[in-house]
């Protein structure tokens, strides 16, 4: 009755798209068989169907409707496919798509006619154009990190981890062109350095990017071997493709030293040389079974019982990565809560995942020593506890390479340190700082 009235009101040529849950995911709610029957009944009154699932307010439904990193990409496609088999009108799928080839495959396989994108359009509003122009490699993938969704509450506007213009679109479109062509040296090929080089080159400057290792991406390279963080690794690829499409000279295996910087006689140095993981002076820290989180991510052998010291983002993700491999994992955190550096939307997701993978969490607990058999700690009451472990993983934060960065300060008229070498932060902070350093250069 409602759709009939809508059709009468808008006329035969106005498109009506009907969004429906393929599955409600709650007791007594719609299941796919019922949704399919409903779509068949409604087909004469609508032009297309858009098949989603669950609800955006309540856990764990939120993590199905707004897929986070722990969901497979395109995880609702099977629901659209079931509707598509039953109707002739076009069917849209949605849910974590961020890769053009995967979208192409979903349509080509006949499971859906249209792919709906939400956050991916914030991450890279040019995705469709890049696809049309054969530049798919340059598409920045949405990280499904919910920084945008949390941003409104934290910053008063949306912000995006990979697109530094989100939340200030009006402001950034009126930035005047650079006054003159400058020679810019960028130290460090992590996300901040790459973004600075891309933005500076797009503004017509001459840019040389120095990276002391043999690869770009900096700290993000850990994501290559962590399945639920792999989109960060893809981000490096997209930024590298952008860099290669621009007249930027990239020098790998070359640190920007003061000697090189002085020889180059540049106008500006942007320093983005990052930070080092902190190695706390616990008794026993140098034992063979103690690993830094980055060593675990790079594939160092890990025993069956693991204690992760540090319950921030890196510690939690390392713990989950190991728990998913079937290991028995505990987290020791000295603060009253874990995930203190996660956005509030994700802090909830991490807690659900920790529960799901049965990771034990000891908050208000301080490590006092690492022994051959595990970790000695003091709990909230000051009582000693012992956690047996075959491997102990350290993840207690980062320390800026400020001193090394400052050596470049007087090697050019302008020196702009950014990102982790100023203050350790997340990808969003590094990319935004890189963009600002290059974009607001007069
Ligand atoms: S903030 Fe994160 S989730 Fe939101 S659009 Fe950007 S990358 Fe995607």
Three-state secondary structure of 226-294: CHHHHHHHHHHHHHHHHHHCCCEEEECCCCCCHHHHHHHCCCEEEECCCEEECCCCCCCCCCCCEEEHH
227 and 323 both lie in a single domain = no
Share of residues in the chain with pLDDT > 90 (%): 88
> Is residue 197 one of the residues assigned to a domain?
yes
Lowest mean pLDDT among 111-115, 243-247, 295-299, 353-357: 295-299
Question: Between β-strands 391-394 and 290-292, what pairing exists: parallel, antiparallel or unpaired?
Answer: parallel
What average pLDDT does this structure show over 179-206? 97
Q: Give yes or no for a contact between 408 and 256, defined as CB atoms under 8 angstroms apart.
A: yes
Closest ligand 1 atom, residue 122 Cα: 5
Contact 123 CB / ligand 1 (< 6 Å): yes
What average pLDDT does this structure show over 97-109? 97
CA gap 388, 365 in Å, rounded: 15
415 and 380 both lie in a single domain = no
Q: Give yes or no for a contact between 415 and 269, defined as CB atoms under 8 angstroms apart.
A: yes
The SS3 assignment for 394 reads strand
165 and 259 both lie in a single domain = yes
Per-residue pLDDT, 117: 97
Question: In which band, very low, low, confident or very high, does the pLDDT at 115 lie, cut at 50, 70 and 90?
Answer: very high
Distance (Å) from CA 223 to ligand 1 centroid: 17
Per-residue pLDDT, 154: 78
> Is residue 224 one of the residues assigned to a domain?
yes
Structure tokens at 180: 């003159």
311 and 325 both lie in a single domain = yes
Closest ligand 1 atom, residue 119 Cα: 5
Lowest mean pLDDT among 82-91, 126-135, 149-158: 149-158
Distance (Å) from CA 118 to ligand 1 centroid: 9
Contact 427 CB / ligand 1 (< 6 Å): no
Distance (Å) from CA 10 to ligand 1 centroid: 35
We report the CATH number of the domain holding residue 231 as: 3.40.50.720
Contact 235 CB / ligand 1 (< 6 Å): no
256 and 310 both lie in a single domain = no
Distance (Å) from CA 210 to ligand 1 centroid: 28
Residue to mutate (ligand 1; options 146, 150, 164, 168; most atoms within 8 A of CB): 146
Contact 322 CB / ligand 1 (< 6 Å): no
> Is residue 294 one of the residues assigned to a domain?
yes
Contact 161 CB / ligand 1 (< 6 Å): yes
Per-residue pLDDT, 324: 97
Return the residue whose CA atom lies nearest to atom 5 of ligand 1.
119
403 and 392 both lie in a single domain = no
The DSSP H or E segment spanning 318 is: helix 313-323
218 and 165 both lie in a single domain = yes
427 and 373 both lie in a single domain = no
Question: Between β-strands 328-332 and 17-23, what pairing exists: parallel, antiparallel or unpaired?
Answer: unpaired
Query: Residue 431: which of 232, 163, 250 has the closest Cα?
Result: 163
Please indicate, yes or no, whether the overall pTM of this predicted structure exceeds 0.95: no
> Is residue 129 one of the residues assigned to a domain?
no
Please provide the DSSP assignment of 87-138 as one string: -SS-EEEESS---HHHHHHHHHTTS-SEEE-SHHHHH-TTHHHHHHTT-GGG
pLDDT in tens, 403-437: 999 999 999 999 999 999 999 999 999 999 999 99
> How many helices (H) and strands (E) in the chain?
17, 19
Structure tokens at 252: 């790998």
At residue 60, does pLDDT exceed 80?
no
> Is residue 131 one of the residues assigned to a domain?
no
Q: Give yes or no for a contact between 82 and 106, defined as CB atoms under 8 angstroms apart.
A: no
354 and 371 both lie in a single domain = yes
Distance of CA 368 to the CA centre of its chain: 33
Structure tokens at 349: 């997701």
Contact 144 CB / ligand 1 (< 6 Å): yes
Distance (Å) from CA 391 to ligand 1 centroid: 34
> Is residue 300 one of the residues assigned to a domain?
yes
Q: Give yes or no for a contact between 396 and 365, defined as CB atoms under 8 angstroms apart.
A: no
Lowest mean pLDDT among 104-118, 156-170, 262-276, 385-399: 156-170
Return the residue whose CA atom lies nearest to atom 1 of ligand 1.
160
Per-residue pLDDT, 62: 81
Per-residue pLDDT, 59: 65
Q: Give yes or no for a contact between 25 and 61, defined as CB atoms under 8 angstroms apart.
A: yes
At residue 442, does pLDDT exceed 90?
no
Q: Which of the pair, 58 or 270, is modelled with greater confidence?
A: 270
Q: Give yes or no for a contact between 394 and 280, defined as CB atoms under 8 angstroms apart.
A: yes
CA gap 442, 410 in Å, rounded: 19
Q: Which residues pair with 187 in a beta bridge?
A: 210, 271
Residue to mutate (ligand 1; options 147, 151, 435; most atoms within 8 A of CB): 147
361 and 421 both lie in a single domain = no
Per-residue pLDDT, 58: 65
Distance (Å) from CA 159 to ligand 1 centroid: 8
- Indicate the number of domains in the chain: 3
Contact 122 CB / ligand 1 (< 6 Å): yes
Residue 437, Cβ neighbours under 10 Å: how many? 26
> Is residue 141 one of the residues assigned to a domain?
no
Q: What are phi and psi of 416, to 5 degrees?
A: -125, 100
We report the CATH number of the domain holding residue 74 as: 3.20.20.70
The SS3 assignment for 338 reads coil
> Is residue 133 one of the residues assigned to a domain?
no
Distance (Å) from CA 296 to ligand 1 centroid: 26
Contact 145 CB / ligand 1 (< 6 Å): yes
Range of the domain at 70: 2-117
The SS3 assignment for 43 reads helix
Structure tokens at 303: 């025993």
Distance (Å) from CA 119 to ligand 1 centroid: 6
24 and 93 both lie in a single domain = yes
Closest ligand 1 atom, residue 428 Cα: 1
pLDDT in tens, 263-311: 999 999 999 999 999 999 999 999 999 999 999 988 899 999 999 999 9
266 and 407 both lie in a single domain = yes
Distance (Å) from CA 439 to ligand 1 centroid: 21
């Amino acid at each position: 009755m409602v759709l009939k009235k809508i059709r009468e009101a808008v006329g035969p040529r106005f498109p009506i798209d009907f969004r429906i849950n393929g599955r409600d995911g709650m007791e007594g709610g719609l299941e796919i068989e019922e949704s399919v029957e409903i779509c068949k009944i409604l087909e004469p009154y609508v032009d297309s169907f858009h098949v989603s699932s669950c609800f955006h307010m309540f856990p764990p439904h939120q993590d199905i409707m707004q897929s986070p990193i722990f969901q497979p990409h395109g995880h609702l496609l099977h629901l659209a496919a079931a509707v598509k088999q039953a109707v002739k009108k076009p069917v849209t799928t949605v849910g974590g798509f961020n890769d053009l080839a995967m979208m192409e495959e979903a349509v080509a396989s006949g499971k859906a006619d249209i792919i709906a994108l939400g956050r991916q359009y914030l991450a890279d509003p040019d995705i469709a154009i890049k696809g049309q122009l054969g530049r798919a490699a340059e598409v920045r993938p949405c990280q499904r990190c919910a920084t945008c969704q949390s941003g409104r509450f934290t910053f008063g506007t949306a912000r995006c981890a990979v697109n530094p213009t989100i939340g200030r679109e009006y402001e950034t479109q009126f930035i005047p062109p650079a006054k003159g062509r400058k020679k810019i040296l960028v130290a460090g090929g992590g996300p901040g350095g790459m973004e600075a080089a891309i933005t500076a080159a797009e503004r017509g400057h001459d840019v040389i990017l120095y990276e002391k290792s043999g690869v770009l991406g900096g700290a993000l390279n850990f994501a290559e071997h962590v399945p639920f963080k792999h989109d960060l690794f893809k981000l490096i690829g997209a930024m590298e493709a952008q860099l290669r499409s621009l007249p930027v000279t990239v020098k790998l295996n070359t640190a920007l030293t003061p000697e090189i910087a002085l020889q180059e006689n540049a106008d500006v140095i942007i320093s983005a040389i990052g930070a080092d993981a902190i190695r706390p002076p616990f008794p026993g820290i140098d034992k063979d079974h103690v690993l830094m989180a980055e060593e675990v991510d790079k594939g160092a052998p890990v025993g069956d019982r693991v204690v992760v010291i540090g319950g921030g983002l890196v510690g939690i993700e390392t713990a989950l990565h190991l728990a998913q491999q079937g290991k028995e994992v505990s987290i020791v955190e000295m603060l009253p809560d874990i995930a203190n550096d996660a956005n509030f939307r994700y802090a909830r997701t991490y807690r659900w995942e920790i529960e799901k993978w049965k990771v034990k969490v000891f908050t208000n607990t301080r490590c006092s020593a690492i022994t051959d058999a595990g970790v000695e700690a003091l709990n909230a009451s000051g009582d000693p506890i012992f956690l047996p472990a075959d491997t102990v993983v350290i993840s207690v934060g980062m320390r800026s390479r400020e001193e090394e960065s400052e050596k470049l300060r007087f090697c050019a008229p302008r020196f702009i340190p950014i990102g982790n070498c100023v203050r350790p932060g997340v990808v969003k902070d590094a990319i935004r700082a890189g963009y600002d350093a290059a974009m607001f250069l007069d």
